[in-house]
Structure 1
């Protein structure tokens, strides 16, 4: 976190920006459509029985599986709450979503308290809602036999992404098995977990916690959920801040872009590639502070050798195992998600380069293998956070988005993906192959496909950092133009998302959530920690 001087500078910068802040033009919000009002408002306001739990207070609520049939089947949605520290100054509830799709918002509350601003903790009840289909809510289950899920997981997660034609065939076969299972045995829930359904759930829960309008802070995929809510219920917005922003037109697609997979449209791979290239340039400029003599060439050499032949590593618990090119690229990607991880990438590359050397003694190989494990452990997202993520992620993505008909399209576009985004093109591309129209049939007829440009009852704060390796900064800029009542806040920090990393961005978001105060147009936070800055 920023030190005392950085906090003081941030506070001064925020004060100065507020002095010159122009008012946002007053304009009546677009109205929630009669159809959406009918869907959610006829659901009786649930009574929430809050009980003590590890997250603070927990409750469960039953909501319609299909909002067109409110008296029909239901799903159970898990909630967690951390009450405001100053009840007498309480504004209401702040809904949090960490992304995913499918990451646990209830578990997120515990971690979020460490870096949410004091005013936010003082004045809001923090509320986490596990989206339907995930975590402690009713789970999406595509396979009757857990062994079948394990076999598909072993292929898709074990391979990470395919490189050769033979690997592509194996990967597509496993993805097709997953799609068939979710479109068959798991169809009832797989076809009812689109982002729109989660937004409807959130609107009912908003009412249940006693808020007239929604206050929301969402990250990564959670930015898409925030945008869907804002456009479905534009007159029910008190404050929505979205950080690490998804361009909804790329996520959903249009008739003109549906021939490209959503994972290619998103340009996440380009963001990853740009972040790596920028890091390697800084490493080269750092001279002896960089562990690589020729960062760009050294990375390319390590990657090429891994692509030609996996590297044997030693684990004191598991014995020897192979490090593949795909696993290496995945680890580098997730290291780029955090400031500490970013600076560890050159260390990781240098370690692998030494392991690829000739005539290593057994002792030296064990030592270098241990060093690799320590560095790789800084990568976020390496462990699966919940048991059914393989079923949840495609269920949400495929319900939300347009995609090509045949899985073979992914094979055809693989070279293009890598050409557009060296190292990371295939990694991101293959994440959506289960969504090929010919194999995915668990469609949600009530998914939201737009519009995404409705005028909200309060401005939406759009936050993007220029070095984000997952949600392209271009997405934040596009959304700030798309939403007519919004403001863009930019940050120069490294890693995925800015809140809690940049003191400046955090202060601006907190001021917006608590007071409704927007940063001045064109505000760019420049307090982000820079790699090799000394």
Structure 2
């Protein structure tokens, strides 16, 4: 896979045949081979689930050309699978046909995460990020989950005006300070009430279990006997739900950027903590940030613009100054005022990139220079990057929900899944104390992540899906599940992948040292391993750790630099790289000390997307 295509993959993910129950006659589906260790009989789909989905007649998908290289269709599926002939909801499907139809294996279902991401859009983008070998042999199929994107939309308010009034307090990256917290809680409660009343019945039928049922029906509709699936971020939860609900219907499932579904749903003993206290997304972001600052320190001023002094201490100093007074950044675009929350929210977004090291340091240096205009240590070297970075952080702030025509249901799609799937504390008014505690556990990012589910408070989010799946998540599947986690993922903590692989008896963990969110496309090693499994069913060797293609601060900065002996704090560039490449994954006990995470971002800044 060309480097540009691999990088596009990482950015897209820190996005059918005629209706027949039989596979196409010209190409028998390839079943992954059973290994000696994994040859035990799979668990069976429960009688209840079998009755639900198999009672639905296989839909006939009326494909029509769309977007140049795609084919689109819509289908009406049961709103409640206990009533297969009752009310329906419209689901949008898009496929990009395999380049070699005669050698086609079947369909590869893809999901970009979120919750709230568009399956049809990531399928449409498949030629830009999937490997040629995969595009040759699979129809790439994307489904917009119910309530989302081109499927029938959930709407929690009667009008844009009503929504805008309700969301007034959400127009921040995350609330910081008493006034913002009060306003945010008020809006979170309004959102919970709106989705529990005006948003019904769809808001109560958007659980991950319902999407898994839709996917099983659509698997039949495209002519596949078993499911082949590639899910990123929250899409990893969907993949694991399917694997446990329909374990004998799995051909090959890969989940990349993994959420532990037990933590996602919660249990009685954890129902009074926030979702992030279970997933520890903030810990993962903090771990990645501190590692970047430490590597910057090791690389020195010839390779990193924020290396003077102690980067970790300087970063803490910078954030304290921003808490006291926002920074003003002026360039040809005008003046941008950057608050503490803007800065942290912007950094969290940059941590999703495979270039997280340079991008995080670039933004940090830019804001440092603005806060210390007379004592900047790197202003000259940052001149070229100033305009771009200022625009990015200004855009991050503008990404807060500015509701205008047409109706934007982005926050409602996230909440419709997260609030319905899992257990949450009772009162949104408890979030200020809960998020402050999270911030002590995971500095900087604790509040950013924990506030994203304030609308889920059980007292105001009262709509429920009685058929939501709560586990178990330990079923033995007909084919292995490939579980992919990277050490520095800021949204789905590596430990979540380790734990998910332990839950599934027929699974294999693939680890990666890449930066950003998810691993596919960030290294030839990880990408090839995933492609090989999807195509042939051959798993990577036990204990495989892939090296990320892009590591921070390996190239010297352009322009005048300090002399090498003083700038290079340790002549360890090559040693550090070798260390990372040969490092074993953290042990279970070690991993518990690392910052964990899942596929989300601050509620307003990135609409909760993992």
Please say if 1:178 is aligned against 2:191.
yes
What is the match of residue 299 of structure 1?
Answer: 315
**Structure 1 residues 174-233: Cα deviation after superposition (integer angstroms, max 9, x where no partner):** 000000100111121100001011001101100000000000000000000000011111
Q: 1:60–1:2: structure 2 CA closer, same or farther, 3 Å change rule?
A: closer
What is the match of residue 262 of structure 1?
Answer: 275
What is the match of residue 18 of structure 1?
Answer: none
| Selected match of 1:449 from 462, 467, 470 | 470
Correspondences of 1:392-431 after superposition (within 5 Å): 392-431=413-452
Please say if 1:346 is aligned against 2:367.
no
Matched residue SS, 2:77: strand
Please say if 1:229 is aligned against 2:245.
no
What is the match of residue 528 of structure 2?
Answer: 507
Give the drift of 1:419: 1.1
Matched residue SS, 2:56: coil
What is the match of residue 31 of structure 1?
Answer: 44
Please say if 1:149 is aligned against 2:149.
no
Matched residue SS, 1:484: coil
Matched residue SS, 1:122: helix
Correspondences of 1:202-221 after superposition (within 5 Å): 202-221=215-234
Give the drift of 1:514: 0.4
What is the match of residue 190 of structure 1?
Answer: 203
Matched residue SS, 1:24: helix
Mapped contact 1:81–1:126 kept (Cα < 8 A): yes
Which range moved further: 71-80 or 304-313? 304-313
- Matched residue pairs, number? 514
Correspondences of 1:38-53 after superposition (within 5 Å): 38-53=51-66
Mapped contact 2:336–2:394 kept (Cα < 8 A): no
Give the drift of 1:375: 5.4
Give the drift of 1:408: 2.9
Mapped contact 1:196–1:446 kept (Cα < 8 A): yes
- For 1:478 and 1:377, the matched residues in 2 are separated by 37
**Structure 1 residues 67-109: Cα deviation after superposition (integer angstroms, max 9, x where no partner):** 1111111111111101111111100000000000011111112
| Selected match of 2:352 from 322, 332, 337 | 337
Mapped contact 2:167–2:191 kept (Cα < 8 A): no
Give the drift of 1:339: 1.6
Q: 1:384–1:217: structure 2 CA closer, same or farther, 3 Å change rule?
A: farther
Mapped contact 1:269–1:428 kept (Cα < 8 A): yes
Matched residue SS, 2:539: coil
Please say if 1:309 is aligned against 2:330.
no
> TM (normalized to structure 2)?
0.80
- For 2:362 and 2:131, the matched residues in 1 are separated by 33
- For 1:383 and 1:79, the matched residues in 2 are separated by 29
- For 1:104 and 1:209, the matched residues in 2 are separated by 19
Mapped contact 2:58–2:220 kept (Cα < 8 A): yes
> TM (normalized to structure 1)?
0.91
Mapped contact 1:334–1:382 kept (Cα < 8 A): no
Give the drift of 1:115: 2.3
Give the drift of 1:527: 4.0
Give the drift of 1:532: 1.0
What is the match of residue 71 of structure 1?
Answer: 85
Mapped contact 1:347–1:375 kept (Cα < 8 A): no
Structure 2 residues without counterparts, runs of 5 or longer: 7-33, 556-610
| Selected match of 1:370 from 387, 399, 419 | 387
Which range moved further: 407-416 or 172-181? 407-416
Please say if 1:325 is aligned against 2:340.
yes
What is the match of residue 109 of structure 1?
Answer: 123
Which range moved further: 373-382 or 55-64? 373-382
- For 2:394 and 2:238, the matched residues in 1 are separated by 30
Q: 1:2–1:278: structure 2 CA closer, same or farther, 3 Å change rule?
A: farther
Give the drift of 1:130: 0.5
- For 1:27 and 1:454, the matched residues in 2 are separated by 12
Mapped contact 2:271–2:425 kept (Cα < 8 A): yes
Structure 1 residues without counterparts, runs of 5 or longer: 7-20
Query: CA RMSD for the aligned pairs?
Result: 2.5
Give the drift of 1:369: 6.1
Give the drift of 1:384: 7.8
Please say if 1:462 is aligned against 2:480.
no
- For 2:383 and 2:486, the matched residues in 1 are separated by 38
Q: 1:503–1:339: structure 2 CA closer, same or farther, 3 Å change rule?
A: same
What is the match of residue 201 of structure 1?
Answer: 214
- For 1:470 and 1:499, the matched residues in 2 are separated by 15
- For 1:83 and 1:383, the matched residues in 2 are separated by 37
Give the drift of 1:120: 0.7
**Structure 1 residues 315-335: Cα deviation after superposition (integer angstroms, max 9, x where no partner):** 756x54422111110110110
Matched residue SS, 1:339: coil
